Structures are given as structure tokens and as C-alpha cells.
Structure 1
Amino acid sequence: MSTTIGKAIRAARMASGFTQAELADWIGITDGNQISRWERGVVTPSADNVGELSRVLGVRLDSSARGAVSC
């Protein structure tokens, strides 16, 4: 599995100053470990979660483009 979107999520999260737990809380995920799984490429976030991540982090995460990120 490609970890490109995971790397993009991690970079955007760190640039925003969020911990994984804080980000999970902001996007409404009760399992803070889910952010870690996305960042490591273990699983890919759903389209809804990508949308929430984009909104909260203020970046465009395009899962269809293998993790392209734009501000």
C-alpha cells in the first residue's frame, strides 16, 4: 500500500501543530490510533475522512492523486 497520503497527512498535521490525538478529536474520530494507521499507510482514510482532514488542516489532500497536497 502506498504511504504517500499518509506522509502528506503527517506533514500537514505537524505543520499545523496538532498531535495525533488532537487531530482525531477535531475530525470526530474516537480512536486516536486511527491517525497513526493512516500516517503509516496501514489503512487509507475514507473519502469523508480525507475531506475532514483537508478542512481541519487547511490543505487539499487528494487521495485519488496518490496523496497530493496543496494549500
Structure 2
Amino acid sequence: MSTIGKAIRAARMASGFTQAELADWIGIRDGNQISRWERDVVTPSADSVGELKRVLGVRLDNSSGDTVSC
């Protein structure tokens, strides 16, 4: 089973974004937030998941962090 953090990291890496670049693209001021999501320290909000889907072009099935698919 994959976590939302692992899915975000895989999609970001496949897209060629750095964490800072992805943060800029989705409108987050704190680039460290991407790192916290990828490490599953915190789960992104529903709005952030929507932006991640839009920018990365992936499907994140469960924004609660349980299971995801890319």
C-alpha cells in the first residue's frame, strides 16, 4: 500500500519539479510543506490535493493519506 506522500514524491520526480518549484506552481509559500507531505508528516488539504492533481497530472484517490494511485 502506498501513501499519499510517496505518490506525491513519485509524481513530482517524474514531472521533473524540485520541491520548491512545485510549491511555487501550486501557490504555497513554504516550500518545506512539500517535504512534509512527501514524508507523510502532514496530509495536504483537499484544496492542495486538487492543485497537485492539476499541476502534476496525476490521480490521488484518497486525500486522507491511506491509499493513492498515480
Structure 1 CA distance for aligned equivalents of residues 59 and 11 of structure 2? 10
Q: Percent of counterpart pairs with the same letter?
A: 84
Name stretches of at least 5 consecutive residues in structure 1 with no aligned partner: none
Q: Give the count of matched residue pairs.
A: 68
Which residue identity is paired with 2:16?
A: G
TM-score calculated relative to the size of structure 2: 0.89
Q: How much has 1:67 moved relative to structure 2? A: 3.6
**CA RMSD of the aligned region, Å?**
1.6
Unpaired runs of 5+ residues, structure 2, are none
The two structures have a TM-score, normalised by structure 1, of 0.88
Displaced runs of 4 or more, over 2 A: 64-67
Q: Which structure shows the higher strand fraction?
A: 1
Structure 1 or 2: more helix by fraction: 1
